[in-house]
Chains A and B, each alone.
Chain A
Amino acid sequence: MENQFEVKQDGTILNIVLGNELTTVNAPLLMDELNKYRDKGIERVVFDASKLTYIASSGVRVIVFAKQKLGGDPDIVFVNCQKDIYEIFELIGVQDYIEFVEK
């Protein structure tokens, strides 16, 4: 499912595999899903963005939500973040708060 996502908890790590797009349509659904992991001891939120080619501001809000609302100020990690997506992070000034990993 191209524009969907998978969320799985592995101990203190929350792994999120993103689809091709994070839009105003599916970002609120992801935020609802993340809401289920509030105060579950999450220390690290890992977004696999290997397929992600488009992110709307509502997608960035999901990242802010993960940082602020899950509890415990978790680290935010983006795996295989593409240039267009990184440019949006830069524009909004969130890139310094995200750990970028290439795999």
Chain B
Amino acid sequence: MRWLHFQPIAGRTPDILDAIMGSPEVAESGRVAKIIRLVCEELVVNVVNYAYPDGVDGYLDVNIDRDDRAITIQLRDGGVKFNPLERDMPDTTTPLKDRPIGGLGIFITIKKMDDVRYEYVNNENVITIKKNLSNET
């Protein structure tokens, strides 16, 4: 289990992603690493841009765990309570010219991961994603 703590987080999305991607648990996970990056970028940018009101010195904790079967990443923040899984999913059959422009990030997260969970525990948003290593795409 690896624990990464980021504070402050404002404007630091690239640094946070680099640290996650640089952890051996992710860096040595082959093709899955690219999917992890895609999903973590969506989740991290949500926390960095929207979790905390302006001027608040927010934090983001990231726990990364990997065994032979799966990689599991948990993100915790102490910002405004927000469950991204409650967001309406985009209708991918709507013609592009009529398609709402938002909601793609969490849609990609749910589609690309094998498990996505949200909890609000001890005043923290906790989102946990899991990707099976035997099911890489």
Residues of A within 8 A of B (CB): 23-25, 54, 56-58, 60-61, 63-65, 67-68, 73, 76, 84, 87-88, 91-94, 97
Q: Verify if B45 is at the interface (C-beta below 8 Å from A).
A: yes
Closest residue of B by beta carbon distance from A91? B111
Q: A92 near B97 (CB under 8 angstroms)?
A: no
What CA separation (Å) do A94 and B100 show in the bound complex? 12
**Chain A residues near B41 (CB-CB < 8 A):** 23-24, 56
> Beyond A68-B97, A68-B101, A91-B112, is A56–B13 a contact (Cβ under 8 Å)?
no
Q: A25 near B14 (CB under 8 angstroms)?
A: yes
**Chain B residues near A56 (CB-CB < 8 A):** 38, 41-42, 105
28 contacts between A and B (CB under 8 A): A24-B13, A24-B45, A25-B13, A25-B14, A54-B34, A54-B37, A54-B38, A56-B41, A57-B104, A57-B108, A58-B105, A61-B104, A63-B96, A64-B101, A67-B97, A68-B97, A68-B99, A68-B101, A87-B137, A88-B38, A91-B108, A92-B92, A92-B107, A92-B108, A93-B92, A94-B96, A97-B96, A97-B97
User: What is the minimal beta-carbon distance from B13 to any residue of chain A, in angstroms?
Assistant: 6
What CA separation (Å) do A91 and B93 show in the bound complex? 11
* Cβ contacts B77-118/A at 8 Å (1 or 0 each): 000000000000010110111010110110110011000000
What CA separation (Å) do A76 and B112 show in the bound complex? 25
Interface range on chain B (Cβ under 8 Å from partner): 20 to 34
User: What is the minimal beta-carbon distance from A73 to any residue of chain B, in angstroms?
Assistant: 6
List residues of B (25-43) whose CB comes within 8 Å of A's CBs: 34, 37-38, 41-42
**Chain B residues near A84 (CB-CB < 8 A):** 34
Q: B99 near A64 (CB under 8 angstroms)?
A: yes
Q: B42 near A57 (CB under 8 angstroms)?
A: yes
What CA separation (Å) do A61 and B101 show in the bound complex? 6
